């Protein structure tokens, strides 16, 4: 069954949130929600997720799944806010355990934080199918940007997470802990093995000034035009390009706060004795 896809673009982090559903009043899935975070004050705000919640209420949708394509490094997830207001199960790849293990060490997290994925309501196995009313999401692992990246295919659409960007922007970086350019190349090839007209929905867009923001493209367009990985680019060429390019990139502005929230499924760290949650800044680690 072909889903209806409604996209929301967060300009602060260039992130797309998707609401995927069958019809008014049906079940829906929310993919990659955003909770704003102001570094200067340490305050979160809900301005990015409020339109998503309003849309779901207007269409009388029932949230079944709150999906993450990966543990984002550029924004905080609003998954827990959506769950608190609208219900649904917060889910992502089972491989989040690997990401949690890496970052539990980096942040020296409290002993009660167990890197077993139990912070999420549901861990998705590779190649598992998730039922969402009359829709089915075929989930498949697309590691490379992170070990726990997962793409979600529903009907003629795939939500590709941080793998491909629009053809003129290229592909996701692979230099975060656990990232791997060779794996990303193979993950992208799997996505590009779908039929030509398959719609590929991006996690982000960083458009040049010459065009508007755009949330999807097709397999055919990517194979023909993607500047990093069009047909004919070998794995070796891709890996060399990615490593060279990644060495020039700064860390994302919100990587340290984002990871600490996102590996907790969007929960804040436990409150300390004064009833306040804190985030950490590891010095000279990343």
Residues near Fe ion (CB under 5 A): 72, 162
- Return the number of the residue (9 or 55) whose C-beta is nearest Fe ion: 9
Q: How far is the CB of 172 from Fe ion (least distance, A)?
A: 6
- Measure CA 109 to chain center: 23
**Six token digits for residue 202:** 């991006």
The alpha helices in 7-78, defined as continuous H runs, are 50-58
Q: Distance (Å, rounded) from C-alpha 231 to C-alpha 242?
A: 16
Task: Find the shortest distance in angstroms from Cβ 79 to Fe ion.
Answer: 15
Instruction: Give the number of residues written for the chain.
Output: 286
Specify whether the CB–CB gap between 172 and 152 falls below 8 A. Answer: no
Nearer to Fe ion, 61 or 174 (CB): 174
Total Cβ atoms within 10 A of residue 42: 12
282 Cβ neighbours under 8 A, 6+ residues apart = 106, 107, 108, 256
Q: Smaller CB distance to Fe ion: residue 75 or 83?
A: 75
Beta carbon of residue 145, minimum distance to Fe ion (angstroms, whole number):
6
Rg of the chain over Cα atoms, rounded to whole angstroms, equals: 18
Residue showing the smallest CB distance to Fe ion in the complex? 162
Q: Which two tokens stand for residue 162?
A: 């941080």
Q: How far apart are CA 208 and CA 252, in angstroms?
A: 19
How far apart are CB 75 and Fe ion at their closest, in Å? 9
Closer residue to Fe ion in complex, CB, 72/83: 72
User: Looking at beta carbons only, is 83 or 204 nearer to Fe ion?
Assistant: 204
Name the 3-class secondary structure at 38. Answer: strand
- Select 73 or 192, whichever has its Cβ closest to Fe ion: 73
Torsion sign over Cα 128, 170, 174, 181? positive
Taking the complex as a whole, how short is the minimal distance between the CB of residue 151 and Fe ion, in angstroms?
13
Q: How far is the CB of 232 from Fe ion (least distance, A)?
A: 26
Q: To the nearest whole angstrom, how small is the minimum distance from the Cβ of residue 72 to Fe ion?
A: 5
- Residue (22 or 68) nearer to Fe ion, CB: 68
Structure tokens at 11: 């300009």
Instruction: Look at residue 82 and give its three-state secondary structure.
Output: helix
């Amino acid at each position: 069954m072909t889903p209806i896809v409604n996209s929301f673009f967060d300009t602060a982090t260039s992130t797309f949130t998707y609401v995927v559903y069958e019809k008014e009043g049906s079940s829906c899935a929310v993919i990659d929600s955003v909770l704003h975070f102001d570094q200067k004050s340490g305050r979160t705000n809900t301005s990015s997720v409020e339109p998503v919640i309003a849309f779901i209420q207007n269409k009388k949708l029932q949230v079944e799944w709150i999906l993450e394509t990966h543990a984002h490094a550029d924004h905080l997830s609003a998954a827990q806010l959506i769950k608190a207001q609208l219900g649904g199960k917060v889910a992502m790849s089972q491989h989040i355990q690997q990401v949690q293990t890496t970052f539990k060490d980096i942040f020296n997290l409290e002993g009660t934080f167990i890197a077993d994925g139990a912070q999420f309501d549901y861990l998705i196995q590779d190649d598992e199918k998730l039922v969402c009313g009359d829709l089915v999401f075929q989930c498949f692992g697309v590691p490379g940007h992170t070990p726990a990246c997962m793409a979600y295919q529903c009907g003629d659409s795939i939500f590709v997470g941080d793998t491909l960007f629009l053809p003129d922007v290229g592909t996701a970086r692979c230099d975060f802990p656990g990232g791997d350019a060779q794996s990303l190349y193979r993950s992208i090839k799997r996505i590009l093995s779908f039929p030509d007209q398959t719609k590929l929905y991006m996690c982000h867009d960083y458009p040049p000034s010459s065009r508007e923001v755009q949330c999807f493209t097709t397999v055919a367009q990517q194979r023909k035009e993607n500047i990093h990985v069009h047909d004919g680019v070998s794995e070796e060429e891709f890996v060399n390009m990615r490593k060279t390019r990644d060495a020039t990139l700064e860390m994302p502005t919100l990587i340290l706060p984002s990871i600490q929230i996102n590996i907790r499924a969007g929960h804040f760290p436990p409150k300390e004795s004064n009833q306040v949650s804190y985030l950490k800044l590891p010095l000279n680690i990343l």
